[in-house]
Amino acid sequence: MFNFYIATNIIYVSIAIILDFILGDPSWFPHPIIYIGKLISALENYFRKITKDCESLKVYGGLIVIIVGLLTFTIPYFLLKLSLINIYLFHILNIFIIWTTIAAKSLDKAGTEVYKSLQADDLETARLKLSYIVGRDTKNLSKTDIIRADIETIAENTSDGVIAPIFYGIIGGAPLAMMYKGINTIDSMLGYLTEKYKCIGFYPAKLDDLFNLIPARLTGILICLSSPIVKGNIINSFKIMIRDRKNHKSPNSAYPEASVASAIKIQLGGTNIYFGEKIYKPSIGDNNKALEYNDIIKAIILMYSSEILLIIMVLIFLLFVIGMVYQLQFFDFH
């Protein structure tokens, strides 16, 4: 039964990946993340009106996690239960929900928009496009800083927006994939180390760290294995990823960032400004060459290659399980 459940989820996820690759996010449909974001914002504003005390805000931050986590799991769960009146509707809804959680095409598009502006030497537009996808202040970034920020967000979101939803979609289906997106959205909105967010964002950041513990490391491994596609070296990529895995304030983000940096042979990290406050990040990777805007495309290629490699691995696993089940049935029959 368990194997059948996992096998079915693998099929759902595989179809969702194909839909995302071809179509991207379903723009004709109001995206669930928009409403999750509105809910988080409304809860944050409400709780900030109640108290300014740090300890109380920590508790309310935890309450936001509970509310959003429960809603993002139970709503898809009950929708799927209701859809069981028609098995085809059930399958379609499963695929559709998982599809909305995978953001590879959107990440590709957003990163490429910045790349195109840099290619045209239009720094103002590049800063504006970058501001749509990063939390840091972008208005005074240099060309090099723009490239670095774009690559860092592609690397980190390869885990958060691609590999993690696939991982949770496989082990827990559409409800768990959507719950993960809810928790990750809370972290992206509240989980900063700045004075404004360090209290209310404490538990959102901690829970997001927990949920990304396996996906971040899995992403790092997949990117290292994919490194030859951008003329990187697998062994060297693993060495640098392991060496620099703690060079980040997040216990997870350094894995995808270090693997991308090592594959492309660049250095990431450094000081960033969030909401007017400077946040220092240690360097990740080796400074073998200056950052170039073409490195953005390499980061996007690594994102897709790691996604493809993961789904190939799980499909091989599925075929192996089916083969084992068939063999057991064959021997039992005889």
pLDDT in tens, 121-158: 999 999 999 999 887 888 889 999 999 999 999 999 99
Q: Round to the nearest angstrom and report the end-to-end CA distance of the chain.
A: 23
Residue 192 Cα distances to 167, 185, 212, 256, angstroms: 25, 12, 16, 19
Query: What number is the average pLDDT over the span 83-112?
Result: 95
- Give the model's confidence band at 275: pLDDT under 50 very low, under 70 low, under 90 confident, else very high: low
pLDDT in tens, 285-294: 998 898 999 9
Helix H segments across the chain?
2-23, 32-50, 54-83, 87-101, 104-119, 123-131, 143-158, 164-190, 202-211, 213-226, 234-243, 254-264, 294-333
| Contact criterion met (CB below 8 Å) for 227 and 261 | no
**pLDDT score at 202:** 94
Answer whether residue 193 shows pLDDT above 90: no
Answer whether residue 229 shows pLDDT above 70: yes
pLDDT in tens, 43-65: 999 999 999 999 999 999 999 99
Answer whether residue 280 shows pLDDT above 90: no
Question: pTM score, two decimals?
Answer: 0.91
pLDDT in tens, 27-38: 777 788 999 999
- Over the range 63-81, which residues count as b (16 or more CB within 10 Å of their CB) and which as e? ebbeebbebbbebbbebbe
Among the ranges 24-28, 289-293, 327-331, which has the highest mean pLDDT value? 289-293
Answer whether residue 329 shows pLDDT above 80: no
Q: Which two tokens stand for residue 107?
A: 């990440």
pLDDT in tens, 124-134: 999 999 999 88
